[in-house]
Amino acid sequence: VGKTSLITRFMYDSFDNTYQVNIPYYCLLLAFLIFSHPQIRLQLWDTAGQERFRSLIPSYIRDSAAAVVVYDIT
């Protein structure tokens, strides 16, 4: 679907046209300033989209404050 591409574009302002299957526990960490608020730590978990890794998703989202769902409409 492009979850890794979205995170890479957001964090590094780059885009890779090649498709690479993701390992199920790939994590990118980003800290940034929002307006005048103190520094906020945002942890982005890039979960694998393959069916065989679906059982791992509950362990990723436990204790999460928010989630972004990415899907293909075609």
Residue 52 lies in a domain: yes
At residue 10, the pLDDT reads 75
Residue 44 lies in a domain: yes
Residue 46 lies in a domain: yes
Decide: 45 and 27 in contact? Cβ < 8 Å. yes
Which residue range forms the structural domain that includes residue 15?
3-61
Q: Secondary structure of the chain in the HEC alphabet?
A: CCHHHHHHHHHHCCCCCCCCCCCCCEEEEEEECCCCCCCEEEEEEECCCCHHHHHHHHHHHCCCCCCCCCCCCC
pLDDT at 73 over 80: yes
Domains in the chain: how many in total? 1
At residue 67, the pLDDT reads 78
State if pTM tops 0.75.
no
15-55: pLDDT as tens digits: 777 766 655 444 544 555 555 567 766 777 776 666 676 77
Residue 19 lies in a domain: yes
At residue 19, the pLDDT reads 62
At residue 47, the pLDDT reads 67
Residues across the chain: 74
